Amino acid sequence: MATIHDVATKAGVSVTTVSRVLNNRGYISEKTRKKVFDIMAELNYQPNEIARSLLRKQSNVIGLIIPMVSHPFFSELANYVEYYAYQAGFKVMLCNSQLDPAKERDYIEMLKRNRVDGIIMGSHTLDVEEYRHLHSPIVTIDRQIDDEIPSISSDNYRGGEIATELLVRKGCRKIAHICGNQELHMLSNLRTNAFHETARKQGVQHITIQTDMNVFDQKQYERIIDTLLEEHPDTDGIFATSDIIAAFAVKGCIRVGKRVPQDVRIIGYDDVNAASWLNPEITSIRQPIGEMGRMAVELIRKQLEGKPFKVENVLPVQLVERSTT
């Protein structure tokens, strides 16, 4: 790879001059500028960003830690993060924690060693303390660490409320809620709180089933649904905490001969693209994933630039009614 030195020699100028051309500073004649650019093209010169980063103490890299990209919610989030990061001149480093604390910790250290400009945390398997000592700007998705670290989430409580209310309004008398593992202290636990309170207030029977801590395990979903329908055959409403789980609920119902939505009404969560590929299309609570991604990048930038930012960012959710309710 050619260096700035090679370019300077070949162009018959000094490295300072080349650097000046490259960074547009100081006086440069049109003739020299052209000459330098020509040589750069000829040598296929690409300035070494590693050397620049070292000097500038800025890598322009954002680390994105999520449980796994192949989960639709996170793959869509990653897609938007990449989109807005690119627009802002950042590169994104993809880190799947697989919800393994050791891997998550390892990735955090790796990102620090690589002096990333910021970390977007979509996985949270460690203790609050461990996140607090991070020096780089971070932003968390769906979890609050403390009142210094900005977090982004959608209005989980409201989402749980809307979902439960819809099922009640549609006439469900016994509603099951399948939620994620509550031990992770995610803000999504609020959906479950909302479910309990709303169901109680409305006076309908309700049960809650927690999934294991695995990111996503189809077999587990199938088992949970089967058990649910067997132990509570009179269930007439299911509020699943993701569209994928809702999809398995639909399949489970059909397997045992129940019609959706006539016998069982089902609502998912997230409103990922896949929710509308399914048949029947799944009613869902839409999280503004694009906006969450945009805001995550923006919050990193604001921290880097020392600008003020809001610590708690709760975005509105929206009911998207389709065919399963």
Partner DNA sequence: CAGTATATGTCAATCGTTTGACACATGTCA
Partner DNA sequence: TGACATGTGTCAAACGATTGACATATACTG
CB of 15 vs its own copies, minimal distance in Å:
17
CB of 310 to its own copies, least distance (A): 27
115 touching its own copies, by CB under 8 A: yes
Residue 267 near which of its own copies, DNA, none (CB within 5-8 Å, type-dependent): none
Query: Would you say 57 or 135 has its CB closer to DNA?
Result: 57
Enclosing H/E stretch for 279 = none
- Dihedral sign (CA 216, 217, 220, 224): positive
Strands 118-121, 151-154: parallel, antiparallel or unpaired by DSSP? unpaired
Whole-number Å distance between alpha carbons of 218 and 216? 6
Structure tokens at 92: 């994104």
Q: Which of residues 238-277 bind its own copies (CB under 8 A)?
A: 244, 247-248, 250-251, 254, 273-274, 276-277
How far apart CA 282 and CA 270 sit, in angstroms, is: 11
* Sites for DNA among residues 185-204 (CB under 7 A): none
| C-alpha–C-alpha distance, residues 131 and 54, integer Å | 25
Q: How many whole angstroms separate alpha carbon 102 and alpha carbon 85? A: 27
**Residue 15 interacting with DNA (CB under 7 A):** yes
Beta bridge partners, 153, equal: 314
Give the integer Cα–Cα distance in Å for 67 and 146: 21
For residue 92, give the nearest of 54, 56, 57, 119 by alpha carbon: 119
Residues in binding contact with DNA, number by CB under 7 A:
32
Between CA 149 and CA 298 the distance in angstroms is 14
Q: What x/- string results for residues 143 through 172 when contact with its own copies is judged by CB under 8 A?
A: ------------------------------
- Work out the angle between the directed axes of helices 30-43 and 15-23 (0-180°, nearest 10): 100
Contact 92, 62 (CB under 8 A): yes
3-state secondary structure of 120: strand
Of positions 64, 162, 172, 194, contacts its own copies by CB under 8 A: 64
Stretch 187-226: interaction string toward its own copies, x if CB under 8 A: -------------------------------x--------
Q: State in angstroms the smallest separation of the CB of 149 from its own copies.
A: 17
Q: What share of the chain is helix, strand, coil (3-state, %, to 5)?
A: 45, 20, 35
Among 113, 203, 257, 305, which residue interacts with its own copies (rule: CB under 8 A)? Answer: 113
Least CB distance to its own copies at residue 179 (A): 19
Q: Does 9 bind DNA (CB under 7 A)?
A: no
* Least Cβ distance, residue 40 to DNA (angstroms): 10
Q: Does the footprint of its own copies cover residue 103 (CB under 8 A)?
A: yes
The residues that touch its own copies, with contacts defined as CB under 8 A, are 1, 44, 46-51, 53-54, 59, 61, 64, 68-70, 72, 75-76, 78-79, 82-83, 86, 91-96, 103, 109-110, 112-115, 133, 135, 218, 244, 247-248, 250-251, 254, 273-274, 276-281
The residues that touch DNA, with contacts defined as CB under 7 A, are 1, 3-5, 12-17, 19-20, 22-23, 25-33, 45, 47-48, 51-52, 54-57
